[in-house]
Amino acid sequence: MASSKKYWKSVEELNEDSSIVKALKQNEFVEPIPTDEFLGNKENLAASSTSRRDFLKYVGFTTAAATFAACEGPVIKSIPYVIQPDEIVPGIANYYATTLADGFDFASVLVKTREGRPIKIENNTLSGVKGGANARVQASVLSLYDGYRLKTPRANQVDTSWDEFDSQVASKLQQLDASGKEVVLLTQTFASPSTAKLIKEFTSKYTNLRHVIYDTVSSSEALDAFQNKYGMRGLADYDFSKAEIIVSVGADFLGDWQGGGYDAGYAKSRIPKNGKMSLHIQFESNMTLSGANADKRVPLTVTQQKEVLKALAGEGSSNLPENIKEAVANAKSQLQKAGNKAVVVSGLMDVDAQAMVLNINESFGSEIMDTTKPRLIRQGNTAEVLSVMNGVISGSVSGLITVGVDPIYSFPNAQEFAEAYQRLELTVAFSMREDATASVAQFVAATPHYLESWGDTQIKKGSFSLSQPTIRPLFNTRQFQDTLLSWAGSDKNYYDYIKDTWATILNGASWNQALHDGFFDSDVEIEIEGATLSGALESSTSNGAYATNTQNQEGSFELVLYTKTNMGAGQQANNPWLQEMPDPITRISWDNYLTISASDAKQLGLENVHVANGGLNGSYVNILSGDTTLNNVPVVIQPGQARGTVGLALGFGKTHNIQKEMQVGVNAFALYNSFKEVQFVTLEKASGMHEFASVQLHNTMMGRDIIRETTLEIFNTKDKHDWNPVPSVSLNHVETPVTSPDVDLWESFDRTIGHHFNLSIDLNACTGCGACVIACHAENNVPVVGKTEVRRSRDMHWLRIDRYYSSGESLTADETKKDAISGLGQTLSQFGELESPAENPQVAFQPVMCQHCNHAPCETVCPVAATSHSRQGQNHMAYNRCVGTRYCANNCPYKVRRFNWFLYNQNDEFDYHMNNDLGRMVLNPDVTVRSRGVMEKCSLCIQKTQKTILDAKRDGRLVKDGEFQTACSAACDKGAMVFGDINDKEAIIVEKTKDNRMYHLLAEVGTKPNVLYQVKVRNTQDT
Amino acid sequence: MKKVKYPKLLFRIPSFLLLAILLISPSLLIAQEVAVTPPVEVAAPVGGDPVVGKQLFNSNCAACHQLDKKAIGPALRGVTGKYDTEWLHSWIKNSPAMVASGDTRAVAVYELYNKAVMTPFPQLSDADIDNILAYTSQPKAEPVVADTAASPTAGQSVGGISNELILGILALVMLMLAVMLFLVNNVLKRIAEANGVIYAQKESEKRTPIWKVFLQNQFLVLVSVVFLLLASAYFVYGFFMQVGIDQGYMPVQPIHFSHKIHAGDNQIDCNFCHSSARKSKTSGIPSLNVCMNCHVNINEYLGEVDLEKGYTKEFYDAEINKLYDAIGWDPNERVYSGEEKPVKWVRIHNLPDLAYFNHSQHVTVAGVACQTCHGPVQEMEIAYQFAPLTMGWCITCHRQTNVDMQNNAYYEKIHEELSKKYGVQQLTAAEMGGLECGKCHY
């Protein structure tokens, strides 16, 4: 024994004379096993009719019987429809156009249904559609099959019927109306013409009823500024596809800024065409998606951001440090150069700042900004919401009806509000789940998922879209509008109501066509929710102030609250796909955390360490803001985080009716004072380390050119071989490119006949949004493995988006450094330096899936030939042949193979959607659900390509270009992923293979992949 | 001598019996057939040829009318007794006009049948209508059950088991021959003994038993052990290879649906009911509303019966009633009750989840007949799994079957290139890439 230390489990063990301890030492079982009782009575035993022989006979018989019973195959029942609906053919998918509008995300999408079950969300590719499907929208189909949803209306915590519910609420409402007490209808933004009309009709019936719109994540200041200037409550729309220069001051417009959805247009302007691409300069504090994609990113505090904006507007910029001043001056000159192709956007929560942005853009005559047809997907007004909040607390409001919002979760003073809420005379919550508010409300109206309801949305003025149910309601739910109609005593249902509204909108056009397309553009003026607020605001919500605690104390940090790509405002917190989706920047799943700069972390003694099993651990801090303290928030040291600022994501920390595994993170809404994204906080280190589930530990590329990038200048002026060289090897002392057949070990397969699929990924257009990751999950039945398994690097994502930081302006610095390394000591230290990220690194995203190598290393090592090659270019994986040696994964240079360590379906240890009948309804019936012990990987969506081929064969025609799609390429509305058949000479993919920017991942290995990448070009000129 | 005579007699008795039975049986069969034929037709009260009338009835009227049962329209037997011929003629030629004109009887019929308009038949001549009416005026054929019931057992035993009987008799004859030989041998022996003939008794030498010899020969032991091992390996392999193969699987279904009657006797195309086989990956078990397309009118079985197996008319009628019960159809009132009870069919062809099979690929694109994989379905009274459905079976077919590329624009280019590559005109599915793992496993 190396140590004489005594280990003990219980205090009792410290007492040397303890009889219990002695007894426990000797006896494995504390209670004696009653063998004597059983065997001691010999007479009884002899008299027993069961002899030893009989016993053995029974054992033998039952074993044999069980064995033979097991031989027989199961009897499988097949139950057809009694009366089959005309539109359903078993085995064939139907698509319906509909619109998601959950108050945070607004998107016009296609829903793929099989045998009446929605199984996937796709982009509506008709031109004119507003709002692409981001990761959350892609995942929303799984939220439909959430077993934690409300299944029936409830009154006073007891299930009730709708009739009972209606009569009870109506009598209460009338009672309150008669006594003149105020009732507030607090709703999400619907942006729905019909709902707006309906609410107006309803509120006019009750004199005491007030309608207030509450955006969980507020854009109130931008709305105020727009309203002051243009007399309408909306948000300016931006078409970034035409932009030549984009200057963003704290606006994460590739994320959820002002409703999001700008990334598709942005990506179009980022692909170099005729030597030109847009220039993107980002001033921000947190490292956001926009900052990660920017050509030049300037980290700075929020206070400085306002100065930057002032400087851009032509006012002084005296308080700024020299390097920022320079960047601002440069941005300003660039803006002026670009003229009407320039645009400035800002995320500052300040009416003045927002007004300034509108003015700046107007001064350029910016074509990018559209103020004539503003976006209507945010309508909330902070002043009004605050008045409701205070009204409830002070008791001036007697009734509160909440629709699609959860104030007890998302109000900053939740505790105080919840107590006051429970004292109200009438509380009604319309909700899909029994959330924090619904769990204490007197009446809870179970609302359906958007895939079960009717609806209409005006995403942007003049752009109307329709929602239609794609499945019969799974539970006893009724949508808010139908309930409102029934309270109003109307015998109409909401469907007829929408049709009436749309008679005006359509103005004679076909309703069926509009429903088929999912949207309709019309110039008809229709009343909007915020119509009551049209005209300039009498008094703005807030000016200049960062809410209550404006004073910037010594040692305090600016906390910038943001929404994460996977969780948004937290509407779908119970969605395992989204929980397991890694954050694009930190690559951490199943958590939110405080992001802090390396130097600040060092000062506070906060650290991130990687432990032996590959997991990432981080310190805890307590965040103090005024009276509020948020304890034990894990810390992630974020390269590029501006000093003096910290970031924390909203939407986490939900606990009410959320599966235990998904009750992760901390509720940052507690710090969302006055609905401002920026708060001043102080931090104090707390004890303990948090275990993160991070999927990427490599902070640099260690000098390998996995990702290739260049600058626009080099791209335009130099030869391809300078910035995108084909690797070469020495053949008879002559440098020969690896693409030459002379240096090839393998005999090539003839793939000139039939189809040969290639997938091109443009690193310039990829913003890292992750929609493809979720689309792949949905299409290919990829299992969810949970936080602890992700931490063990056992995530099952077939498609991952790697995030790379680089410290220099280009990679050459890294390269030179690597080449100069000699000796072990130097290797360790110098690579260590490469690992330590710079203050403001450049970021690149790279989606990686199976590269479908023509000369696949995995195939040659499989002992059972489970993975093999096709002439269509796809690398096949026969799961039923795989015996799980994992040789293939070891031999794969791209690390894209995923092993099923466990049975992830129908296994209580992995209690996600595949473990219940409801959740399994989302599975794609065309793709095998893999079992334990087999390897799996991207198949290049062979089920989709085979279907396309079969459709063409059946119709007796050739496949048109664009028909072949993978789940990821179809989900990518940015055009970063292009899939097609390179034997079809007309196809776009053929151009991509010949593009100068084209390169293969690790081409020097000679695997000849069928996935190709386009070199990332950064527009660094003059910045 | 006695003993010699005795077997001869024994031999004669069965052969006589056999002869007698063989002679009687055909006559019994004939008698049965006579009994089955319906009674001779009675002359129709109206002029017209009931034989021609039957044809006309079947082609024009049978969609809505039956002779003895109410269908969409009324039962028509004896309709000439209810209405005069002239009225019937004008009704058949243009019933809506009669209803419109306010003819009381016409309106009454119209009202009685839920105001369903009967299609006018102006194309029928007066003679045609007379023929039809003549057919409807035939008296109902007396049920023949009484006649057959008289001699069912005799008819069955002669007709059905005659082969077995003959075999039995033959076996008996053989046995007798053997006994005779034995007896003759005995008699001869006794005679020989009596005559004092002495046999040369073989000396029973003390030989080593054969198993000992076998054991001493090590080579033989080795060879037989190897043989035994190989043989058992063969059988064990055979046993394991059939695990999970359910060829011949013929489960009892909740409704006795006879493919023989539908696809065989009535020549209904497979795709008529299994319509999704043409466009979907599944052939689709027809929903009950598809059944009702025909069975809304066909509420009884009128085809051949197989009494031996119990497939009587009553049996089939009961099965049709099961369908009505499941979909909630009241055949008397001719209304749907709305009470639906889904039928839980037992799935016969269970391809494992890991294998992807698409019906439309084979049915529509390749033009493979359903029978290639499903066997003689048109002869199956009870459906069963015909093919082994193993991967080897799939692959064999893909190797041997030429792809039908005629008149399909999709194949034009591929065909041209591939036939150049392989130097053949006809390409098999395998040459098209139909053996690649990922084509069926994903």
Tens digit of each residue's pLDDT (9 = 90 or more) over A881-913: 999 999 998 898 888 999 999 999 988 889 999
Range 378-437 of B in CB contact (< 8 A) with A: 407-411, 413-414, 417-418, 421, 432-433, 436-437
Q: How confident is the model at residue A30 (pLDDT cuts 50, 70, 90)?
A: low
Q: Is B354 on the interface with A (CB under 8 A)?
A: yes
| pLDDT value at A506 more than 70 | yes
Which chain A residues contact residue B350 at CB under 8 A?
A: 73, 76
Q: Which of B240, B283, B436 to mutate to test the interface with A (most CBs of A within 10 A)?
A: B436
Report pLDDT for A821. 59
* Angstrom distance (rounded) from CA A300 to CA A284: 6
Q: What is the 3-state secondary structure (H, E, C) of A727-743?
A: CEEEECCEEEECCCHHH
* Angstrom distance (rounded) from CA B441 to CA A880: 8
Give chain A's radius of gyration (CA, Å).
Answer: 31
Burial tier of B276 (Cβ tally within 10 Å: 0-12, 13-18, 19+): buried
| pLDDT value at B44 more than 60 | no
* Angstrom distance (rounded) from CA B336 to CA B320: 15
8 A C-beta contact, residue A439 and residue A150:
no
Q: Which amino acid is at A623?
A: I
Range 752-771 of A in CB contact (< 8 A) with B: 752-754
Q: Per residue in A817-841, pLDDT tens?
A: 666 655 555 555 555 555 444 567 8
Query: What's the gap in Å between the CA of A759 and the closest CA on chain B?
Result: 18
What does the DSSP assignment read for A770-809? -HHHHHHHHHHTPPP--HHHHHTT----SSEEEEEEESSS
Average pLDDT over residues A345-358: 89
Q: How confident is the model at residue A322 (pLDDT cuts 50, 70, 90)?
A: confident
Query: What's the gap in Å between the CA of A754 and the closest CA on chain B?
Result: 6
How do beta strands A296-299 and A279-284 pair? parallel
Nearest CA in chain A to B254: A77
Average pLDDT over residues A140-147: 93
- What's chain A's average pLDDT? 85
Q: Measured between CB atoms, which of B251, B326, B438 is closest to A876?
A: B438
Higher pLDDT, A181 or A28: A181
Q: How confident is the model at residue A978 (pLDDT cuts 50, 70, 90)?
A: very high
ipTM: 0.80
8 A C-beta contact, residue A102 and residue A450:
yes
Q: Which of A88, A776, A950 to mutate to test the interface with B (most CBs of B within 10 A)?
A: A950
Query: What's the gap in Å between the CA of A480 and the closest CA on chain B?
Result: 31
Average pLDDT over residues A194-199: 90
Q: Is A72 on the interface with B (CB under 8 A)?
A: no
First to last CA, chain B: 85
Q: Is A91 on the interface with B (CB under 8 A)?
A: yes
Q: How confident is the model at residue A31 (pLDDT cuts 50, 70, 90)?
A: low
Q: Measured between CB atoms, which of A78, A753, A929 is closest to B414?
A: A753
Q: Which amino acid is at A854?
A: N
Average pLDDT over residues A661-679: 89
Range 952-981 of A in CB contact (< 8 A) with B: 952-959
Q: Tokens 């030939």 label which residue?
A: A865
Report pLDDT for A403. 93
Report pLDDT for A23. 60
Secondary structure class of B97 (helix, strand, coil): helix
Q: How confident is the model at residue A666 (pLDDT cuts 50, 70, 90)?
A: very high
Handedness of CA B420, B422, B425, B428 (dihedral sign): negative
Query: What's the gap in Å between the CA of B227 and the closest CA on chain A?
Result: 28
Average pLDDT over residues A758-768: 93
| pLDDT value at A677 more than 60 | yes
| pLDDT value at B6 more than 70 | no
Handedness of CA A675, A678, A683, A686 (dihedral sign): positive
Tokens representing A483 are: 């309930």
Full-model pTM: 0.81
Q: Name every residue whose Cβ is closer than 8 Å to that of residue B23 and which is 6 or more positions away in sequence.
A: none
Average pLDDT over residues A16-36: 60
Report pLDDT for A9. 47
* Whole-Å CA distances, A484 to A132, A206, A380, A472: 30, 12, 21, 20
Q: Per residue in A433-485, pLDDT tens?
A: 999 999 999 999 999 999 999 999 988 888 899 999 999 999 999 999 999 99
Q: How confident is the model at residue B86 (pLDDT cuts 50, 70, 90)?
A: confident
Report pLDDT for B101. 83
| pLDDT value at B35 more than 70 | no
Average pLDDT over residues A416-435: 91
Q: Count CA within 13 A, CB hemisphere, residue A928.
A: 25
Tokens representing A804 are: 């790379």
Q: Is B280 on the interface with A (CB under 8 A)?
A: yes
Report pLDDT for A791. 86
Which chain A residues contact residue B342 at CB under 8 A?
A: 79-82
Q: Per residue in B407-433, pLDDT tens?
A: 888 888 888 888 888 888 888 888 888
* Angstrom distance (rounded) from CA B365 to CA A636: 57
Q: How confident is the model at residue A230 (pLDDT cuts 50, 70, 90)?
A: confident
Q: Is B14 on the interface with A (CB under 8 A)?
A: no
Which chain A residues contact residue B432 at CB under 8 A?
A: 754
Q: How confident is the model at residue A516 (pLDDT cuts 50, 70, 90)?
A: very high
Tokens representing A117 are: 């079950």
Q: How confident is the model at residue A121 (pLDDT cuts 50, 70, 90)?
A: very high
Burial tier of A861 (Cβ tally within 10 Å: 0-12, 13-18, 19+): middle
Stretch among A523-527, A1005-1009, B224-228 having the lowest mean pLDDT: A523-527
Percentage of chain A exceeding pLDDT 90: 38
* Angstrom distance (rounded) from CA A944 to CA A967: 8
| pLDDT value at A848 more than 80 | yes
Report pLDDT for A530. 54
Hey, are the CB atoms on B410 and A953 less than 8 Å from each other? yes
Q: Per residue in A927-970, pLDDT tens?
A: 999 999 999 999 999 999 999 999 999 998 999 888 999 999 99
How do beta strands A519-521 and A463-467 pair? antiparallel
Report pLDDT for A990. 92
Q: Give the distance from CA A432 to its chain's centroid.
A: 20
Percentage of chain A exceeding pLDDT 70: 87
**Angle separating helix axes A494-506 and A480-487, nearest 10 degrees:** 100
Nearest CA in chain B to A927: B442
| pLDDT value at A163 more than 60 | yes
* Whole-Å CA distances, B378 to B269, B371, B374: 10, 9, 10
Average pLDDT over residues B335-355: 89
Q: Is A864 on the interface with B (CB under 8 A)?
A: no
Q: Which amino acid is at A287?
A: M
| pLDDT value at A371 more than 60 | yes
Q: Is A946 on the interface with B (CB under 8 A)?
A: yes
Report pLDDT for A548. 39
Report pLDDT for B255. 92
Q: Per residue in A93-102, pLDDT tens?
A: 999 999 999 8
Q: Measured between CB atoms, which of B279, B285, B408 is closest to A80?
A: B285
- What's chain B's average pLDDT? 80
Query: How many pairs of residues across A and B have Cβ atoms under 8 Å apart?
Result: 152
Q: Measured between CB atoms, which of B354, B410, B439 is closest to A946?
A: B439
Report pLDDT for A473. 93
How many Cβ atoms from other residues are within 10 Å of residue A424's Cβ? 19
Q: Is A795 on the interface with B (CB under 8 A)?
A: no
What does the DSSP assignment read for A309-378? HHHHTTS--TTS-HHHHHHHHHHHHHHHHHGGGEEEEE--S-HHHHHHHHHHHHHHT-SSEEEEEEE-S-
Report pLDDT for A52. 80
Report pLDDT for A204. 86
Q: Per residue in B171-197, pLDDT tens?
A: 999 999 999 999 999 999 888 888 877
Nearest CA in chain A to B325: A82
* Angstrom distance (rounded) from CA A350 to CA A332: 21
Q: Which amino acid is at A172?
A: K
Which chain B residues contact residue A752 at CB under 8 A?
A: 417
Higher pLDDT, B163 or A541: B163
Range 332-361 of A in CB contact (< 8 A) with B: none
Hey, are the CB atoms on B433 and A870 less than 8 Å from each other? yes
Report pLDDT for B5. 43
Average pLDDT over residues A551-561: 76
Higher pLDDT, A87 or A128: A87
Hey, are the CB atoms on B244 and A753 less than 8 Å from each other? no
Secondary structure class of A222 (helix, strand, coil): helix
Report pLDDT for A71. 63
Q: Is A734 on the interface with B (CB under 8 A)?
A: no
